[in-house]
């Protein structure tokens, strides 16, 4: 089964998506912010594996002290997703694994003129929705994307007209 | 219970980022000159006009983006009222919402659910 895990920083900025299959790494797509924050780690993981902190309780004469040790989980193993999630969590990065329906909705949400927190809010809400509701939501999200495209087009035209008017004024001035 | 978009602040305009720079306006001016088939216009005059028009272009951009955001949120409003409310903040308790959302993430995580 293919899983998509969406990554966000503590300000809800979108860092990108990691695709896994049964927990095994397949590929990652990072946003610009995500590249800055995570690219070097992902490269390192592919070579050395994901660092994971484990703990064990050791019995000795003085009691049961907890001992921590670090091990590396290779990206081509089923433990990758869990290890990566643990790493993200300890580094203040929200990792939200979603199914295909929610992922499709997210691709629409990402195109909407909303702030990062609003997008994150929508994603979390949709993730908790029933499938039937999700399909209806996707339709609405598409309508919103279309409305946004129309709005942007109108704005671009209006700004273009403004520059054209100024250009004509300049041309007339220097043609004279 | 549905979501109160007014409380969320979704009904109101959001702050818009200003991405345009002087060089961007200068480029816009040049493109417009190409569109209207302008002849030779001195560089200084192009620059001067770009600086003059830039504030109005910014206003159009900001108001256009605000309008678009409002329309989009109006479209989403109906949908939001059908979504689970546990992750819904009010404008004043965004922090509370964040905690709810994180709780939801951890709950799912503990259950090995869809997280």
Same domain, yes or no, for A40 and A66?
yes
Looking at residue B98, what is its pLDDT? 47
The confidence band for A38, taking pLDDT boundaries of 50, 70 and 90, is: very high
Nearest-Cα distance to chain A for B38, in Å, is: 5
Residue where one domain finishes, among candidates A98, A113, A131? A98
Same domain, yes or no, for A49 and A110?
no
Cα nearest neighbour of A170 on chain B: B41
Same domain, yes or no, for A93 and A19?
yes
The tens digit of pLDDT for each residue in A66-116 reads 788 889 999 999 999 999 999 998 888 999 999 999 999 999 999 999 888
Per cent of chain A over pLDDT 90 is 65
Same domain, yes or no, for A14 and A50?
yes
Of A18 and B2, more confident: A18
- Confirm whether B29 is domain-assigned: yes
Got the DSSP string for A44-78? HHHHH-EEEEEEEE--BTTB--EEEEEEEE-TTST
Cα nearest neighbour of A161 on chain B: B32
The ipTM estimated for the assembled molecules is 0.77
Chain A to chain B Cβ contacts (< 8 Å): 144
Q: Which domain holds residue A51?
A: 2-98
Q: Which residues in chain A are closer than 8 Å to B10, comparing Cβ atoms?
A: 118
Looking at residue B113, what is its pLDDT? 34
Same domain, yes or no, for A85 and A104?
no
- Report the distance separating Cα A20 and Cα A97, nearest Å: 10
Same domain, yes or no, for A129 and A54?
no
Angle at A92 between CA A86 and CA A95, to 5 degrees: 55
Q: Which domain holds residue B59?
A: 17-81
Q: Report B:71-110 residues touching A (Cβ under 8 A).
A: 71-73, 75-76, 78-80, 82-84, 86-89, 94, 97, 101-102, 104-105, 109
Nearest-Cα distance to chain A for B12, in Å, is: 12
- Confirm whether B99 is domain-assigned: no
Looking at residue B21, what is its pLDDT? 62
DSSP secondary structure letter of residue A79: T
Q: Report B:5-34 residues touching A (Cβ under 8 A).
A: 10, 14, 28-29, 31-33
At A98 the three-state DSSP class reads strand
- Confirm whether B110 is domain-assigned: no
- Confirm whether B73 is domain-assigned: yes
Q: Report A:64-93 residues touching B (Cβ under 8 A).
A: 85
Cα nearest neighbour of B16 on chain A: A115
Looking at residue B14, what is its pLDDT? 34
pLDDT at B102 over 50: no
Of B88 and A49, more confident: A49
Task: Report how many domains make up chain A.
Answer: 2
β-sheet bridge partners, residue A27: A19
Same domain, yes or no, for A12 and A88?
yes
Positive or negative, the Cα torsion across A112, A115, A121, A123?
A: positive
Q: Look at the block and give the residue holding tokens 């700004």.
A: A159
Question: Cα A98 to the chain's mean position, in Å?
Answer: 11
Same domain, yes or no, for A6 and A86?
yes
Q: Do A94 and B35 touch (CB under 8 A)?
A: no
- Report the distance separating Cα A149 and Cα A147, nearest Å: 5
- Confirm whether B92 is domain-assigned: no
- Report the distance separating Cα A141 and Cα B80, nearest Å: 11
Question: By the 8 A CB rule, do B100 and B86 touch?
Answer: yes
- Report the distance separating Cα A78 and Cα A57, nearest Å: 25
Positive or negative, the Cα torsion across A8, A12, A13, A14?
A: positive
Task: Report how many domains make up chain B.
Answer: 1
Looking at residue A96, what is its pLDDT? 93
Q: How large is the greatest C-alpha to C-alpha distance in chain A, in angstroms?
A: 100
Cα nearest neighbour of A81 on chain B: B115
- Report the distance separating Cα A39 and Cα B50, nearest Å: 39
DSSP secondary structure letter of residue A123: H
Same domain, yes or no, for A84 and A106?
no
Burial of B101 (0-12, 13-18, 19+ CB in 10 A): buried
- Confirm whether B103 is domain-assigned: no
Looking at residue B16, what is its pLDDT? 34
B68 closest CB neighbour out of A140, A148, A168:
A148
Same domain, yes or no, for A106 and A162?
yes
Same domain, yes or no, for A23 and A33?
yes
A19-33, A89-103, A105-119, B4-18: least confidently modelled range: B4-18
Please compute the mean of the pLDDT values over residues A126-138 and round it to a whole number: 85
């Amino acid at each position: 089964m293919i899983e998509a895990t969406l990554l966000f920083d503590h300000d809800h900025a979108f860092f990108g998506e990691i695709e896994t299959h049964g927990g095994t790494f397949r590929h990652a797509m990072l946003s610009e912010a995500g590249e800055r924050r995570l690219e070097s780690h992902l490269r390192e993981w592919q070579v050395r594996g994901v660092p994971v902190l484990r703990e064990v309780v050791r019995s000795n004469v003085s009691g049961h002290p907890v001992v921590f040790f670090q091990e590396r989980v290779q990206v081509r193993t089923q433990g990758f997703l869990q290890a990566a999630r643990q790493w993200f969590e300890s580094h203040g990065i929200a990792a939200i694994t979603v199914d295909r329906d929610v992922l499709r909705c997210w691709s629409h949400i990402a195109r909407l003129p909303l702030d990062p927190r609003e997008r994150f809010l929508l994603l979390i809400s949709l993730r908790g929705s029933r499938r039937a509701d999700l399909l209806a939501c996707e339709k609405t999200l598409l309508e919103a994307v279309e409305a946004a495209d129309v709005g942007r087009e109108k704005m671009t035209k209006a700004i273009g007209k403004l520059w054209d008017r100024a250009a004509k004024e300049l041309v007339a001035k220097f043609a004279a | 219970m549905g979501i109160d978009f007014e409380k969320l602040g979704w009904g109101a305009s959001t702050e818009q980022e200003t991405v345009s720079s002087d060089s961007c306006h200068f480029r816009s001016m040049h493109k417009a000159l190409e569109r209207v088939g302008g002849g030779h216009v001195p560089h200084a005059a192009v620059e001067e006009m770009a600086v003059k028009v830039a504030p109005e272009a910014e206003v159009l951009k900001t108001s256009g983006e605000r309008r678009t955001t409002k329309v989009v949120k109006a479209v989403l409003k109906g949908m939001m009222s059908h979504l689970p409310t546990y992750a819904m903040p009010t404008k004043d308790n965004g922090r509370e919402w964040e905690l709810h959302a994180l709780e939801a993430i951890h709950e799912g995580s503990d259950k090995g659910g869809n997280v």
